[in-house]
Amino acid sequence: MATRQASTAVVSASRTWQTNTMIKRVTIHGIDHARAACEVAMSINRQDGFTLELWSARHGAGSLGPAWFDNIVRIIRSEYPDLNIVGVLDCGDAAGNALAALRQGVGCIYVSLKPTVTEKIKAIAGQSNGDVRTRRPKMPDLMEYENPGEMLQAHFS
């Protein structure tokens, strides 16, 4: 599933996230999944490029923690510097996990909180150029595939 965004650039957490490109999203459960997604993304020769969003599992902030996810995203960005990668940590309905993720330096989080709490989280995130998502789009979950390469090839094409 891919969507086109408005033709603007968003600066967040000292990275420029291009929103004028196609966005490809996948749910990862570890560095091997992240590497698999990046390998397939690198193999596709696209003139217009795309942003690769690596989403944590649902409630990943609570189950594995922000440091775990932040480290994966940092490693992947250093290994694949030519890709535009956005890591999105799912904090679900746990405001404390969202705050911990922002404190850790995670640049993009997803929350499903009451609007008043979400606005407060967004204000805090804005102080460090963080991004807060309030909608989790449909995307492939790489845990569902024994060998996700073929599915990723089709998904990214």
Chain length of the chain: 157
In a domain, 23, yes or no: yes
Q: Are strands 108-111 and 9-12 parallel, antiparallel or unpaired?
A: unpaired
Residue 38 lies in a domain: yes
73-97 per-position pLDDT tens digit: 999 999 999 999 999 999 999 999 9
> Could you tell me the CA-to-CA distances from 8 to 5, 21, 123, 132 in Å, in that order?
8, 10, 21, 17
| Domain-located, residue 104 | no
Within-domain flag for 49: yes
Q: Supply φ then ψ for residue 26, to 5 degrees.
A: -145, 150
111 in any annotated domain: no
Q: 3-state SS string over 53-103? A: EEECCCCHHHHCCHHHHHHHHHHHHHHCCCCEEEEEEEEECCHHHHHHHHH
**Torsion sign, CA atoms 69, 52, 77, 9:** negative
Q: Which one has a higher pLDDT value, 14 or 112?
A: 112
pTM here is 0.85
How far apart CA 74 and CA 87 sit, in angstroms, is 9
CA distance 108 to 118: 14
- Please check whether residue 105 lies inside any domain of the structure: no
Domain count, the chain: 1
Domain that holds residue 22: 2-90+138-156
pLDDT band at 50 (very low <50, low <70, confident <90, very high): confident
- Per-residue pLDDT, 48: 59
Radius of gyration (C-alpha) of the chain in whole angstroms = 15
Task: State the average pLDDT over residues 43-70.
Answer: 89
Across the chain, mean pLDDT equals 87
- 125 is a domain residue: no
Domain with residue 13: its CATH number is: 3.40.50
| Nearest-angstrom CA–CA distance, 58 and 60 | 5
pLDDT in tens, 116-138: 999 999 999 999 999 999 999 99
